Structure 1
Amino acid sequence: MDAPADGAPGPGARPRDPGLQPERTRLAWRRTTLSSTVAAVLAVRTVLHDAPTATGTVAGVLCGALWLAFLTLAHRRIRALAAGGTPPALTPRHAAAAVLCTVALAVCAAALVL
C-alpha cells in the first residue's frame, strides 16, 4: 500500500527502515568538520608564519570564528543523528548557516593563501 500524501504510513504499511542512512549522514558531518578544521588550522598557521598584518590577523580570527560556528552546528546535528529513532529534519535556518560558514571559511582561507 502507498503512503498518504502527508507522509504518514498508511494502514498495514511497515514503518520506514532508515538502514545506515543516519550513520552515513553523521559521518559526512564529521568529514566536513574535519575539512573545515584543516582549513582553519592552515589559515591560522599562514597568519602566524608570515609577517602579521592587520588584514591577515582579521582574516585568521574570522576563520577561527567561522570554524567554531560550524563546529557548533555540526555537533548539534551529529548528536541529533546519534540519538536514535527518527532524527528531526534539518531546519532551513541551520542548513543555511552551515553552508554560509563552510563557504565563508573557504573564502577566508583562500584569501590568506593568495
Structure 2
Amino acid sequence: MKAKIAVFGTLRFPPENIKKLLPHLHKLVTETYANDGCIAYDVAEDPFDKGLIRFSELWPSRESLDMHLKAPHIAPWREQAIKYGLSERKFISYDISSDAVSV
C-alpha cells in the first residue's frame, strides 16, 4: 500500500509521568495498527528531551487519517494524556502522493 499522507508530531509531558503514561500510549498504538488502516505509526520518547514524545505516521489517504482521529480509542487516549500532564501538542500532515525518492 502506498502512503499518501505523512504526519509528524510531538506531545510534551512532565518527564516523571512518562512511565505511567506508557501503558496508555501502548494501547493507542496497538489499537491504531489493529483498526485504523495506518501504514506506519511510530512513537518514541526523545532521548535528548525527556518528556517529549515524537510521532511519525504514514496513511494511505486523508480519509483514513480523518477516520483515525474519530476512532473510538482516540477520546480515551486524549483523556489519559490530559490526566498525565499534556502541556504541548504539535502535529503537521503532508501530502506525499508523489513517488518517494531514496536519500
TM-score (norm 2): 0.36
The structure with the largest helix share of the pair is 1
Could you tell me the TM-score, scaled by structure 1's length?
Answer: 0.34
Greater share of strand: 2
- Name which structure has the greater RCO, CA cutoff 8 Å, separation 6+: 2
